[in-house]
Amino acid sequence: MKNILVFKHMSCQNPGIFRDYTVKQGINFVEIDLHAGDEIPDLTQFNGLWVMGGSMNVWEEDKYPWLIEEKQAILHAVKDLNMPFLGICLGHQLVAEALGGRAEKTDNYEVGLFGIEPTEEGLNHPLLKNFRKSDKWVNVHLVEVVEAPKGAVILATSGICQNHVMQLGEFAYSCQFHPEVCDHTLDGWLKIPGIPEAIEDLLGAGSLDYFKSSITENLPTNNAASLILFENWCNLVFNSSNTNY
Catalytic residues: 89, 178, 180
Helix (H, G, I), strand (E, B) or coil at 213: helix
With residue 212 as reference, give the H or E element that holds it: helix 207-237
What whole-number distance in Å separates Cα of residue 94 and Cα of residue 222?
24
What whole-number distance in Å separates Cα of residue 202 and Cα of residue 194?
12
CB within 8 A of 244, min separation 6: which ones? 81, 82
Question: Are 132 and 104 in contact, with CB atoms under 8 Å apart?
Answer: no
Question: Are 121 and 157 in contact, with CB atoms under 8 Å apart?
Answer: no
Residues 120/123/126/132 CA torsion (nearest 10 deg): 140
Helix (H, G, I), strand (E, B) or coil at 194: coil
Helix (H, G, I), strand (E, B) or coil at 69: helix
Question: Are 58 and 97 in contact, with CB atoms under 8 Å apart?
Answer: yes
Hey, which bits of the chain come out as E strands?
A: 2-8, 27-33, 48-51, 85-88, 102-115, 117-118, 136-147, 153-157, 165-168, 172-175
| 81 alpha carbon, distance to own chain's centre | 20
